[in-house]
Amino acid sequence: DTGVSQDPRHKITKRGQNVTFRCDPISEHNRLYWYRQTLGQGPEFLTYFQNEAQLEKSRLLSDRFSAERPKGSFSTLEIQRTEQGDSAMYLCASSADSYEQYFGPGTRLTVT
Amino acid sequence: AQSVTQPDIHITVSEGASLELRCNYSYGATPYLFWYVQSPGQGLQLLLKYFSGDTLVQGIKGFEAEFKRSQSSFNLRKPSVHWSDAAEYFCAVQSGGSYIPTFGRGTSLIVHP
């Protein structure tokens, strides 16, 4: 197992388009997290799953954002009608039953 | 609500010099505390963590951190910095009943040869 992977690594899109990101966690990890990170800031929590259940969502997660983890394995984060303010690094992390999180390399989104 | 303050946005040190990165947290009970490192364009890697017990914790890459309850601090230290340590460092706090950490804004470490 090589760790958490994210795809794509970079995405450039035009304002108003929809984008979808994928995260593949470490296989035995039951928790999966999405964060957003902007320049000069730490990661901000967006949402997290335990197995396939989405247990918590941040107020940052507007109605244009949706996340799924259909079989408790990989997860997708979709942003509809992208805005320039959505430009950021989107990080995925996974964890087992401990509090230690393992991060993927992130997807950098640029909205033009 | 829990919060984390990393008062230094940038720290510059010479290679071989000692390092201390500051982290202060706000949380009512004993928190879980973490330090992560992020290299450019990469995700975060856990350096060390504190849950309970010995207040001086050892991590990877020669880093250590000390939990000081009286000062609400969890400062990261390294006795001799290497050029490869140049990166962004994030402190994070998490309450015992939550699986969601709060991150500080980070400290950028610059290492001069």
Q: pLDDT (tens digit, 9 = 90+) per residue, A90-104?
A: 999 999 977 889 999
Residues (pLDDT < 70) of chain A are: 1
Nearest to B100 among A45, A102, A106 (CB): A45
Is any Cβ of chain A less than 8 angstroms from the Cβ of B59?
no
- Provide the pairing of β-strand A53-57 with A44-50: antiparallel
pLDDT at res. B97: 77
DSSP conformational letter for A74: -
- Sorted by sequence, the CB contacts under 8 Å of residue A52 that are 6+ apart come out as A69, A70, A71, A72
Is any Cβ of chain A less than 8 angstroms from the Cβ of B1?
no
Alpha carbons B10 and A54: distance in angstroms, whole number: 36
pLDDT at res. A1: 53
Query: Is A42's CB within 8 Å of B104's CB?
Result: yes
Handedness of CA B79, B83, B85, B87 (dihedral sign): positive
pLDDT at res. B79: 97
Is any Cβ of chain A less than 8 angstroms from the Cβ of B105?
yes
Query: Is B94's CB within 8 Å of A99's CB?
Result: yes
Query: Is B105's CB within 8 Å of A40's CB?
Result: yes
Alpha carbons A22 and A74: distance in angstroms, whole number: 7
Is any Cβ of chain A less than 8 angstroms from the Cβ of B95?
no
**DSSP code per residue over B38-93:** E-TTS-EEEEEEE-SS-SEEE-GGG-EEEEEGGGTEEEEEESS--GGG-EEEEEEE
Alpha carbons B53 and B91: distance in angstroms, whole number: 19
Residue B103: list chain A partners with CB under 8 A: 42-44
Token representation of residue B27: 């949380």
User: Could you tell me which of A103, A100, A101, A78 has the C-alpha nearest to residue A92?
Assistant: A103
- Provide the pairing of β-strand A53-57 with A75-79: unpaired
pLDDT at res. B30: 75
Interface test with B, best of A33, A48, A101, A109 (most B CBs within 10 A): A101
pLDDT digits (tens, 9 = 90+) for B52-80: 899 999 999 999 999 999 999 999 999 99
A109–chain B nearest CA distance, Å:
12
Residue A43: list chain B partners with CB under 8 A: 44, 90, 103
Nearest to A103 among B4, B9, B44 (CB): B44
Alpha carbons B67 and A78: distance in angstroms, whole number: 39
Instruction: Convert B98-113 to b/e letters by CB count within 10 Å (16 or more is b).
Output: ebbbbbbebbebebee
Mean pLDDT by 10 residues, chain B (113 residues): 92 97 87 93 92 94 95 96 97 87 96 93
